[in-house]
Amino acid sequence: MTEGGSGSFTVDDPATGHVIAKLPSLSPEQVRASVEAAHRALPEWSARSGNERSQVLRRWFDLVSEHAEDLARIIVLEQGKPLTEARAEIVYAASFLEWFAEEAKRIRGEIFDSPRASNRVVVLQEPVGVCVAITPWNFPAAMITRKAGPALAAGCTMVVKPASQTPLTALALAELAERAGVPAGVLSVVTGRASEIGPELTGNPLVRKISFTGSTEVGRRLLQEAALTVKNASMELGGNAPVLVFDDADVPTAVEGVLTAKFRNTGESCIGANRVYVQDRIYDEFAAALAERTGALKVGPGLQDGVQIGPLIDSAAVEKVAEHIADATENGARVVAGGSVHGLGGRFFEPTVLVDVAPGMLITREETFGPVLPLVRFDHEDQVVAWANDTEFGLAAYLFTKDAERTWRVAAALETGMVGINTGLISNEVAPFGGIKQSGLGREGSVHGIDEYLELKYLAWEGAGATSAAR
């Protein structure tokens, strides 16, 4: 326990429920000290050239890659996902460090003519300043590097508050950042109770930006708190991803894509397939193939060989999944694979497929965040697009069809920030990740990701214009 702190909290292994670590719950004063340290570190870090910052980020990438196996095992222990997925997450997390190490060198401004011939417009890109990242438990490494990579590349400093369920990955990443040469104060991790330390992070006037990934409910609250000091905000919030499987799709491709879009991370992903609409003519064939593949998925502790589905994060997550299935079956849906808590007990849940699901059931309206696939039957394109868009969320959608014209038409009509076409895997460091509607604000990754950490400054330069230059 840290002196002056607010006690401690424990981290458990979702596979066993056993406590694996005890960490300090920082006090608001201690968090304020981290923010002030980030503020003090800002002038020196932001004054370095993009190339110098790039080298530090590149060393961080190298160290994360070198320690990938240890990091992956830490993720499995505190988060529960299968080891193969934890390894993939580390590769994904590291890719943001490598990508933004390159982008650090490419920050550039603009210069152009003003309406007055004696004047020129000069546009500089400057770091936003001290940033706060509040991150979730489902991708405990990647959600940190996807924020810290661009922030540090841009010349910002950052205080990270990881989810209380998964702080160990965050601390390990911070240790590697320090070894890579990230100066003290440029990146810190604070642990503790959100209710106690959250207001310091969202209210401290030294903080100029909040970047959050998590539930829409908490995102709304953080936006309100940040509004009081008019902070910049990036929000990656909840989703309710629809999958549209048209009857001209290649069925094996669609089955494979839906399995990936749903069961990656045991269904605990905001871009996870939440409701699957299948066109009438192929509905039964698709449902049978999907049920067979789903029933064969291996459930178990993440460190066990061959496991594809790990435990859910906590008992509340298990209850939510069970509640969604109960609501659907009480209203006429049928279970064709899984359906219950797994024989292993605890937080293990059987991968599940439901058929005869109808629009409006709880499972089609709320993010389930678990290993359940509800299949809804549809007839017409217009009808399914209307159902897909009938939600406050707008993060990801997936569509399966071989018809190119339909692809353009439906992709354009879907009200989401991302659309997977004949694939269930849409995440990578080169693509802009983010949502519309109440799924969020801003984009992460890609060439656009660094813009979230840069402000434009415009200089109206009298005497630098064409007529002046000619003098």
Ligand X SMILES: O=C(O)CCCC(=O)O
Touching ligand X, residues 227-246 (CB under 6 A): 236
> In this chain, which of 94, 107, 218, 255 binds ligand NDP, going by CB under 6 A?
218
**Tokens standing for residue 99:** 């990508």
**Residue nearer to ligand NDP on the CB measure, 54 or 216:** 216
Considering only 104-112, 179-187, 216-224, 268-276, which stretch makes contact with ligand X by CB under 6 A? 268-276
If DSSP codes are grouped into helix, strand and coil, which group holds residue 211?
strand
If DSSP codes are grouped into helix, strand and coil, which group holds residue 185?
coil
Give, in order, the Cα–Cα distances in Å from 164 to each of 170, 353, 447: 10, 31, 31
- Residue 5: half-sphere exposure toward Cβ, Cα within 13 Å: 14
Question: Could you say whether residue 164 binds ligand NDP (CB under 6 A)?
Answer: yes
> In this chain, which of 50, 127, 214, 302 binds ligand NDP, going by CB under 6 A?
214
Quote the least distance from Cβ 221 to ligand X, whole Å: 17
**Residue nearer to ligand X on the CB measure, 138 or 204:** 138
Site map for ligand NDP, 74-93, x if CB under 6 A? --------------------
Question: Could you say whether residue 215 binds ligand NDP (CB under 6 A)?
Answer: yes
Query: What DSSP state is assigned to residue 182?
Result: P
The answer to whether 85 is a known catalytic residue is: no
Q: How many residues bind ligand X (CB under 6 A)?
A: 11
Rounded CA separation 16/311 (Å): 9
> In this chain, which of 27, 34, 95, 138 binds ligand X, going by CB under 6 A?
138
Rounded CA separation 72/76 (Å): 6
Q: What angle do CA 178, 93, 393 make, to 5 degrees?
A: 125
Quote the least distance from Cβ 468 to ligand X, whole Å: 49
> In this chain, which of 74, 134, 189, 426 binds ligand NDP, going by CB under 6 A?
134
Please choose which of ligand X, ligand NDP, none residue 215 contacts, taking the beta carbon within 5 to 8 angstroms, the exact cut-off set by kind. Answer: ligand NDP
Rounded CA separation 126/204 (Å): 21
Question: Could you say whether residue 139 binds ligand X (CB under 6 A)?
Answer: yes
Considering only 50-58, 86-94, 129-137, 347-355, which stretch makes contact with ligand NDP by CB under 6 A? 129-137
CB 313 within 8 A of CB 137: yes
Question: Could you say whether residue 416 binds ligand X (CB under 6 A)?
Answer: no
> In this chain, which of 138, 204, 279, 427 binds ligand NDP, going by CB under 6 A?
138
Please choose which of ligand NDP, ligand X, none residue 427 contacts, taking the beta carbon within 5 to 8 angstroms, the exact cut-off set by kind. Answer: ligand X
Please choose which of ligand NDP, ligand X, none residue 214 contacts, taking the beta carbon within 5 to 8 angstroms, the exact cut-off set by kind. Answer: ligand NDP
Quote the least distance from Cβ 379 to ligand X, whole Å: 32
The residue number with the shortest CB distance to ligand NDP is: 198
**Residue nearer to ligand X on the CB measure, 42 or 373:** 373
Residue 321 sits at φ, ψ, to 5 deg, of: -65, -45
Quote the least distance from Cβ 268 to ligand NDP, whole Å: 7
- Extended beta strands in 280-390, E state: 334-337, 352-357, 372-378
CB 363 within 8 A of CB 327: yes
**Which of these is catalytic: 89, 98, 236, 268?**
236
β pairing state of 157-161 and 130-134: parallel
The amino acid present at 141, given as its one-letter code, is A
Please choose which of ligand X, ligand NDP, none residue 369 contacts, taking the beta carbon within 5 to 8 angstroms, the exact cut-off set by kind. Answer: ligand NDP
**Tokens standing for residue 128:** 């936003």
Classify residue 195 by burial, with Cβ atoms within 10 Å: 0-12, 13-18, 19+. Answer: exposed
**Best CA proximity match to 12, nearest among 212, 304, 312:** 312
Question: Could you say whether residue 274 binds ligand NDP (CB under 6 A)?
Answer: no
Q: What angle do CA 105, 106, 107 make, to 5 degrees?
A: 105
Question: Could you say whether residue 273 binds ligand X (CB under 6 A)?
Answer: no
Rounded CA separation 210/129 (Å): 11
Give, in order, the Cα–Cα distances in Å from 98 to each of 85, 151, 155: 20, 13, 16
Which positions touch ligand X (CB under 6 A)? 138-139, 142-143, 213, 236, 269-271, 427, 433
- Residues with a catalytic annotation lie at 236
